[in-house]
Amino acid sequence: MARSQHPEIILASGSSARAQVLARAALPFTQRVSDIDEPALVASQNRELTPVEIPELLAQAKGRAVATEVAQEITSPTLILAADSVFEFNSSVYGKPHEPEIAIERWRAQQGQSGTLHTGHWLGLLHPEKPGALKQQVVTDSAEVEFAAVDEQTILDYVATGEPLGCAGGFTLEARGASLIQSVQGDPNTVLGLSLRVVRESLQAWGYRLSDWWD
């Protein structure tokens, strides 16, 4: 069976972890980062969003912003892929800690415990001959993360590396933080910030297969 012509892929994210997920799956792509004020966007909703609504809102905003930017530039069908993640712990929602003191406090609370990482995905399909038409899908996937019971010095050492400061929930699964994770129930790529299963199933709904992109 002949392979269908596949769209170009633009990852609407500056995340190296999401880029690595696509690269490991042999999916060629380019990256384009949107300029979205995430806290302001969430606050503008004038209500308390659920842990699932937040990453969906932010993923849609990032993806649509990039789609608008490239709509007049593309010369072939183009897939825009955006994602955002939040961590839910003890019924509270946590994004990136940014500050070491915040990361330390979070790790003191979550070590030996578990929480849920929610990743919202937005996929948009653009065609150059129809610049105003945009097919889109929004899907959120969640994974349960159990943390190892670690001592205070390990927490301090981990935060001192700077690794968790820019990650939702203050941890990573692909680097030093992997040694502090006891188990993951669900798609590990969801914890990394981009579920390939979600991408595959969403593309299938549009008549594409992930293998269409493989050399």
Active site residues: 84
CA dihedral (198, 3, 215, 12) in degrees, to 10, reads -40
Give the start-end residues of each E strand in the chain. 8-11, 30-31, 78-89, 92-94, 114-127, 130-147, 181-185
3: which residues sit within 8 A by CB, 6+ positions away? 211, 212
Q: Whole-angstrom Cα distance, residue 5 to residue 80?
A: 16
Please, what is the Cα angle at 208 between 55 and 137, to 5 degrees? 25
Q: Which amino acid is at 198?
A: V
